[in-house]
Chains A and B, each alone.
Chain A
Amino acid sequence: MARKIRVLVAKPGLDGHDRGARVIARALRDAGMEVVYTGLHQTPEQIVEAAIQEDVDVVGLSILSGAHMTLFPRVCELLKENDAGDIVVIGGGTIPEADVKTLKEGGWAAQLFTPGTTIETIVDWINANVKVN
């Protein structure tokens, strides 16, 4: 059986904007991926635990609250602490250009997709950059 890309889509923090996360979860399913959605108000610890148990290849964070500069680094640190630094971290939401640059350069996110990004762009990026096996 062909290996499928498994993605965890998560909403960290108190942010209640879940439309984007749901849209992405459905779109990735329609692109043939297995998507675990964990719902709203997740702590970085919960997200990392779920990612390990579900053995996902990608963790996708959706953040429209402005807390991205703390949440992305925290999730990455916890993944590394749990010997799961190989999991690719991506995300989206309302993240200013300057912060996108800082997060990517700091290695806190492999790629970030801001409002208006097409689904196609996101799916293509995952397929091109996430190696399974």
Chain B
Amino acid sequence: MLEVSKLIQGDKRTAAKIITLIENDEPGKHELLSQIYPYTGRAHVIGVTGAPGAGKSSLTDELIKQARKNNLKVGVIAVDPTSPISGGALLGDRIRMQEHALDKNVFIRSMGTRGCLGGLARATKDVIKVLDAYGCQVVLIETVGVGQSELDIMHYADTTLVVLTPEAGDHIQTIKAGIMEIADIFVVNKADLGNTKKMITDIEQMLDMSPRFKNGWRPPVLITSTLTQEGIAELWSTIGHHLASTSASGEHQEVVRKRLAMEVMEMVEENLRNALWNYFTVKNNLTELIDQLADRHTDPYSEAQKFVREISDKIFGKEH
């Protein structure tokens, strides 16, 4: 039996088992999450995204070290792609973080995307809550290596890092439409490998043209190397500064409120969709209906409209 009280007390095995249950959408998930909810909202959630191989895992490892130096308990969610063909996944981000395996105040969990296309796993937002309630003051999320449209992290992280490399300079035009817009901090990693000047200029120019940053937080561009440790301490302090600054201006609270609104809306949608579809299958003989659709005796448009009209008549009355 999984007990939320044990999670709150910091029982590792309970945390791990609850995450599995949530990831698999097993019965009891919603009850557990609503029990967990009161203990959440405390962790600083930091997203690490960027192109494949840019150094996301290596940087996450460095950030774990920084957090531990400050005596903070850390949770990590490392997401790798699930193969759409086999349904399996090779979860390899952990390799770069294994030195923390024996640290009681570091909990690392690897997840496959399992069909979710936004660069994260579908259960990510709930797993953040589990780690938050487990007592992690910092939750680091490494997304899959992203291109342009895997932007889900912006909805869940308080601070989002977009990791680039000096060689990526040529591509900045093509990626700026996507992940470039969600950065709170730009990190040009692998500074030891090449000239970072062009990359920095490109990003700064792009920011100059963006109306979004006229007031409020303008994403700084930081240079790092996980090899030489250059810029790592500065990155850590900038992450803290971002949360402090956006909290002081009220921007952070606004983002959190929007996130909550979106979350409850998504829950309503999901529950409603399931409930309505159940009702639909009770009201209609699905096999028969599909036969009729296949024979072109009726069409999905009319059937859907008929059903929705009937439901809304019931809820809102005929005059509606």
Contact = CB atoms under 8 A, between A and B. Distances in A.
B20 A35 contact: no
A84 B101 contact: no
Interface residues of B, number: 30
B91 A42 contact: no
B13 A35 contact: no
A49 B100 CA distance: 10
B110 A54 contact: yes
Interface in B31-49: none
B145 interface: no
Contacts of B186: none
Contacts of A50: 94, 98, 101, 108
Interface in B70-110: 82-83, 86-92, 94-95, 98, 101-102, 107-110
A2 B110 CA distance: 18
A52 B13 contact: yes
A29 B86 CA distance: 7
Contact of B89 (A34, A39, A52, A84): A34
Interface in B2-41: 12-13, 16-17, 19-20, 23-26
B112 interface: yes
Nearest to A9: B90
Nearest to B95: A39
Contacts, number: 88
Interface residues of A, number: 31
B114 interface: yes
Pick from A1, A42, A45 the residue with the most CB of B within 10 Å.
A1
A37 B95 contact: yes
Interface in A28-45: 28-39, 42, 45
Contacts of A19: none
A84 B90 contact: no
Given A25-B90, A32-B88, A36-B91, A54 B114 contact: no
Contacts of A84: 13
A50 B92 CA distance: 12
Given A50-B98, A53-B107, A54-B109, A37 B88 contact: no
A131 interface: no
B89 A55 contact: no
A34 B98 contact: no
B91 A30 contact: no
A55 B20 contact: yes
Interface in A16-75: 25-26, 28-39, 42, 45-46, 49-50, 52-55
Contacts of A1: 23-25, 114
A2 B17 CA distance: 16
Nearest to B108: A53
B102 A45 contact: yes
A86 to B, nearest CB: 11
Contact of A29 (B26, B89, B94): B89
Interface in B282-315: none
Given A26-B90, A29-B90, A30-B88, A39 B98 contact: yes
Given A50-B101, A53-B109, A55-B20, A38 B94 contact: yes
Given A30-B86, A55-B19, A35 B108 contact: no
Given A30-B86, A45-B101, A55-B16, 19 more contacts: A4-B112, A25-B90, A26-B90, A29-B83, A29-B88, A30-B88, A32-B88, A33-B88, A37-B92, A38-B101, A42-B98, A46-B98, A50-B94, A53-B109, A54-B94, A54-B109, A55-B17, A55-B19, A82-B13
Task: Give 4 nearest A-B pairs by CB, closest first.
Answer: A39-B95, A29-B88, A55-B16, A46-B101
Interface of A: 1-4, 6, 25-26, 28-39, 42, 45-46, 49-50, 52-55, 82-84
8 contacts: A1-B24, A1-B25, A2-B24, A29-B90, A33-B88, A37-B95, A46-B98, A53-B16
